[in-house]
């Protein structure tokens, strides 16, 4: 379950979850590889011929975001980069971006790091 965030969501820093591997095609599309573990998955693989590894294919916007979720960029920074890359095609930018990030976080593909508190002099 995702904890409720305090502060401005745009200040958070998304980081890809290390428990998932991913690959990128020549055209820039990203695919997240999810290994199906556990007894129920084993039974589904054995008897229903389900794959051992599921592939989650991200679309153009998702692939662009995924590359930038490296623990260095805030949600706001990524939004600015998206605006430059996609322009009007990305609008309404921040509501869509925040919802997309929350979905990735809910499925544990990303972890949101809290922004460091700024010291006032």
How far apart CA 58 and CA 69 sit, in angstroms, is 14
For 58-94, write each residue's pLDDT tens digit.
999 999 999 999 999 999 999 999 999 999 999 999 9
Q: 92 preceded by cis ω (within 30°)? A: yes
How far apart CA 26 and CA 41 sit, in angstroms, is 31
Calculate the CA 85 to chain-centre distance: 18
pTM for the predicted model, two decimal places = 0.80
CATH level 2 (architecture), domain 9-111: Alpha-Beta Complex (3.90)
For 16-51, write each residue's pLDDT tens digit.
999 999 999 999 999 999 988 888 777 877 788 888
Q: What single-letter DSSP state applies at residue 16?
A: E
How far apart CA 50 and CA 64 sit, in angstroms, is 29
The domain locations on the chain are 9-111
């Amino acid at each position: 379950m995702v904890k409720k965030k305090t502060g401005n969501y745009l200040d958070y820093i998304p980081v890809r979850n290390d428990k998932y591997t991913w690959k990128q095609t020549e055209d820039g599309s990203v695919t997240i590889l999810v290994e199906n573990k556990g007894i129920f998955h084993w039974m589904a693989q054995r008897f229903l011929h389900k794959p051992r590894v599921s592939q989650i294919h991200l679309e153009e916007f998702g692939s662009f975001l995924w590359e930038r979720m490296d623990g260095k960029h805030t949600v706001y920074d990524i939004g600015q980069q998206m605006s430059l890359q996609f322009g009007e095609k990305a609008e309404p930018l921040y509501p869509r971006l925040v919802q997309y990030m929350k979905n990735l976080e809910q499925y544990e593909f990303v972890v949101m790091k809290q922004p460091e508190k700024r010291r006032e002099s």
